[in-house]
Amino acid sequence: MTVPLHAERRAGARLSRIVFDADTIARRVRELGEEVTAAYPTGELLVLGLLKGSFIFLADLARSIERPVVVDFMVASSYGSGKASSGNVRLLYDPATDLAGKHVLVVEDIIDTGRTLQRLLTLLAARQPASLAVCALLDKKIAPPIPEVRFTGFECPKAFIVGYGLDYAEKYRHLPFIAELAE
């Protein structure tokens, strides 16, 4: 799918193609909300977003889950301003919410190498939640399988993508679609 001129203007950059348009994303997020609702009929559900990339996805997903949820966030960094993960994961904000005995659903924007997610899951599991699962909007399918990944929106290309919360050097999160950033 080529990038329409109005999308180029909105992005302020050269995008090589739109990977997932806004309607496709909205439809899949509603389906994920239904899947999460069915998977957690009882018990306290904590939806724990990994900032900053997941904030738009988390907001749409939380509104699609048809049961009470508690929302909190974590901030971890492994990219800085580059296009590749540094491999050095830093936890910048740790949630204050007690996880013991709760169903914890970690909401992630994209699974790339899986290193950040694996480190966070180890940290969260030590806090004794009733269950621990991951809902990822995108999966590049390059990380070793992560058993906790229970819900996935889309398999995505191995290119660098932006939009719908995903960024390059803090830019392009505002785009309502997901696009490949031109080299």
pTM of the model: 0.87
> For the ranges 20-29, 77-86, 145-154, which has the lowest average pLDDT?
77-86
> For the ranges 5-9, 129-133, 172-176, which has the lowest average pLDDT?
5-9
Q: Are strands 161-162 and 149-155 parallel, antiparallel or unpaired?
A: unpaired
8/104 Cα distance (integer angstroms): 38
Contact yes or no for 2/179 (Cβ under 8 A): no
Q: pLDDT tens for residues 28-44?
A: 999 999 999 999 999 99
pLDDT band at 89 (very low <50, low <70, confident <90, very high): low
Q: Which of 60, 112, 139, 167 does the annotation list as catalytic?
A: 112
pLDDT at 94 over 90: no
Domains and their CATH numbers in the chain: 24-75+91-181 (3.40.50.2020)
Round the average pLDDT of the chain to a whole number and report it: 88
Catalytic residue check, 112: yes
